[in-house]
Structure 1
Amino acid sequence: MLGKTLGVPLFQESAVKVAMVCAGFTAGEADQLRKSMATFKFTGGVSRFQTKLIDGMVNKGYSREFAEKTFKQLEGFGSYGFPESHAASFALIAYASCFIKCHYPEAFAAALMNSLPMGFYAPAQIIGDAQKHGVEVRPISVAHSRWDCTLEEIPGTDRHAIRLGMRQVAGLAAADVARIVVARIERPFESVDDVWRRSEVPSEALVQLAEADAFRPAFGLERRDALWAIKALRDEPLPLFVAAAAREERAVAEQQEPEVVLRQMTEGHNVVEDYAHVGLTLRAHPISFLRRDLTARRIVTCADAMNARDKSWLCVAGLVLVRQKPGSAKGVMFITLEDETGIANIVVWPSLFEKRRRVVLGASMMAIQGKIQREGDVVHLIARQLEDLSGDLSALADRDTEFKNPSGRGDEFAHGSPGGGDARDRPKSIPEAREIYVRDLHIDTLKVKSRNFQ
């Protein structure tokens, strides 16, 4: 009867068969048993069938011990069992998804990005996973991107790269993207002014694209250069030059702004802007800019933590990706942290959660000290202490991959000694926290959206 599933009741139909064949249930009674098992955790209705099923199996010649064991097995199965048709449909989708992810990872990642917002994973995680599997990801570009993420051929190979779509730009309207795509069909854009003039999108849309760094792949313009060029535009061109520009089909010399050399953002500042306006970055991971400081505080990487020996005590830090508090976990919180080396799985017991609720629920970046628990390939860090490091991200905009060491003592750099370097390169001082001042709300703080499942 259960030979198809090797004696294990995997489907709801299995419970119905056992009840009818082994215990003499009618079809209606067996269906009521199935429905009760599916909701027994909430209603407890399955208990009313226990005596009938056990007695029915005993009357059919089964031992009482076997009958009771069978009932317990069916009772436990009820909380996760599916009808066979549903299970088969889900299995087909899962198999097809795994096949596509294995053999066509670029198409799989692009499809997920175009389906957002959805599911468990944020855009940065989807793109990060694709990159780890060898997929080339190209940035948003006004000269190449469409609304959706698309695939671009990689010359000399049969592989494709993902071109991020302009749908990722915060606040950008689909109608403005459509105007840009249509305008570049005739010929490629030549400048920011050319994009604005031919697409006829408002300057606000161009500002959103510039903040997302969409002009750098197209024209080699850094964020500040693109924003400076947009400042010279008007939503209505100056009448004096309209006729000349229309005749030449391009901006005339009188409309060109003189070149200005601007001080560019640091790499760390660019990462902050990427997260703020795109939701992900193709540059270095934010934690990599803080690694030197973290190492000095004996905070290990996520990869080192997950490879540590069982029962090791250590401290790990990372961006908070996911917070989960399943109803069946009896108040236990599961947190996923990420740094430049990977992810770490954290377990927070209810007592610690209640003590540090504000940190657990509000921090964008956390340091967690605890003990490693390893069971086979499953590794968790059991949290004992939590620290909110969101404030460490507030100075990220002033950091670069290589720190510029001052010639004087460390405090002299902060206080402006003669050998302290360019004052613009010095990290901004952060005032001490007060009740009316929340460090997490610093204007340059990296905003990372985590997924909370409670």
Structure 2
Amino acid sequence: MFFFFLFFYGASQLIQDAQRHGVQIKPVDITISGWDCTLEEQMTKTSRPAPPNVRLGLSRVKGIGLKAATRIVEARKTASFESTADLANRASLNATEIRALASADALCALAGHRREALWAAASHIRQSDLMREAPVKETLPTIAAAPEGEEIVSDYASMELTLRRHPLALLRPTLARMNLRSAMELDNYPTGRLVRTTGIVTCRQRPGTASGAVFVTLEDETGIINVVVWNLLVLKQRRELLNSRLLTVYGVWQSEGEVKHLIAKRLVDHSHLLGGLRVESRDFH
């Protein structure tokens, strides 16, 4: 069942939903993470077990394969890594693999924040056999951490998810000025109300039994919005429907018990507001 949900929803959606339900998600850490995501037990002040944290695995890092992850775990069993150079040498990691780990902010315990780790990765890569054990002495410059927006963009580029704030949390002041409602605000709207909202497109579905309608799932920092795009609008605004990363929808809110969705009347592509953030939707027929 888990693999079905991962296939259908994607890691970012699952993690965002888990965080909204109080689950603690821990980042990829070269000193702890295995290949798969794992549960980490934690204790409360009363010595009673608390709900476990979820530790992201090395499989989330683009550019790190199972073989490299296995070498990392095996080397770690012998002794803890002392530095990025020690990691690279003992786990036989090449420059591309070290940069991948640095880009995913997985070297924090060894080399500091992402920018510091990337600087270290440029120097501490596996050398040729002749120079492999030669000591490297270098004074690292003081490097400021990247702004939050840049960190989020890097998270998605390296792992297709972020544990920082949702991208739309940063855009919310701009979206509020555009009178674009959040998923949380829509949840209590009365049925039949004209509304406008926006969200990152996470899923598009066009079942063969839906008379050409497309069902779109939008995500913001407060939840998800289900959108129904009838066939006439699909034909009229195909480009906005299929190409938007950040889709704004003007429509009529429908709410009946737990069944809530937005009937689209107009679509606007606001992907430019995401800047360099690259997100991929899961599209099904």
Task: Decide: shared fold, TM above 0.5.
Answer: yes
Gaps of 5+ in 2: none
Partner of 2:27: 139
Partner of 1:167: 59
Q: What RMSD in Å do the two structures reach over aligned CA positions? A: 1.9
Partner of 2:13: 125
Classify the secondary structure of the residue corresponding to 1:260. Answer: coil
| Counterpart contact for 1:335–1:345, Cα < 8 Å | yes
Q: Which amino acid aligns with 2:116?
A: D
Q: Which amino acid aligns with 1:263?
A: A
> Which among 263, 266, 272 is matched to residue 382 of structure 1?
263
Partner of 1:404: none
Q: 1:343 and 2:238 equivalent? A: no
| Counterpart contact for 1:303–1:344, Cα < 8 Å | no
Q: Which amino acid aligns with 2:242?
A: L
Question: 1 CA distance for matches of 2:126 and 2:259?
Answer: 58
Question: 1 CA distance for matches of 2:4 and 2:261?
Answer: 29
| Counterpart contact for 2:111–2:117, Cα < 8 Å | no
Give the percent of matched residue pairs that are identical in Structure 1 and Structure 2. Answer: 38
CA 174–155 in structure 1, closer or farther in 2 if over 3 Å, else same: same
Partner of 1:227: 118
Classify the secondary structure of the residue corresponding to 2:112. Answer: coil
| Counterpart contact for 2:201–2:246, Cα < 8 Å | yes
Partner of 2:168: 287
Question: 1 CA distance for matches of 2:217 and 2:132?
Answer: 57
The size of the alignment, in residue pairs, is 281
Question: 1 CA distance for matches of 2:190 and 2:259?
Answer: 12
Of structures 1 and 2, the one scoring higher in RCO (CA 8 A, sep 6+) is: 2
State the Cα deviation string for residues 157-190 of structure 1 (Å, max 9, x = none).
4232111000011121111111111111122112
Partner of 1:452: 283
Question: 2 CA distance for matches of 1:386 and 1:234?
Answer: 48
Q: Which amino acid aligns with 2:29?
A: S
Question: 2 CA distance for matches of 1:171 and 1:137?
Answer: 22
Partner of 1:309: 190
Gaps of 5+ in 1: 1-96, 98-111, 246-251, 395-443
Question: Larger radius of gyration, structure 1 or 2?
Answer: 1
State the Cα deviation string for residues 38-89 of structure 1 (Å, max 9, x = none).
xxxxxxxxxxxxxxxxxxxxxxxxxxxxxxxxxxxxxxxxxxxxxxxxxxxx
Question: 1 CA distance for matches of 2:148 and 2:229?
Answer: 34
Question: 1 CA distance for matches of 2:80 and 2:143?
Answer: 26
* 1:234 to partner: Cα distance: 4.3
Larger relative strand fraction: 2
* 1:220 to partner: Cα distance: 5.7
Partner of 1:179: 71
Q: Which amino acid aligns with 1:453?
A: F
Question: 1 CA distance for matches of 2:131 and 2:268?
Answer: 61
Question: 2 CA distance for matches of 1:270 and 1:360?
Answer: 28
- The TM-score normalised by the length of structure 2 is 0.93
Q: 1:209 and 2:101 equivalent? A: yes
- Match runs of 1:43-54 below 5 Å: none
Classify the secondary structure of the residue corresponding to 2:185. Answer: helix
Q: 1:354 and 2:235 equivalent? A: yes
Question: 1 CA distance for matches of 2:131 and 2:183?
Answer: 61
| Counterpart contact for 2:26–2:56, Cα < 8 Å | yes
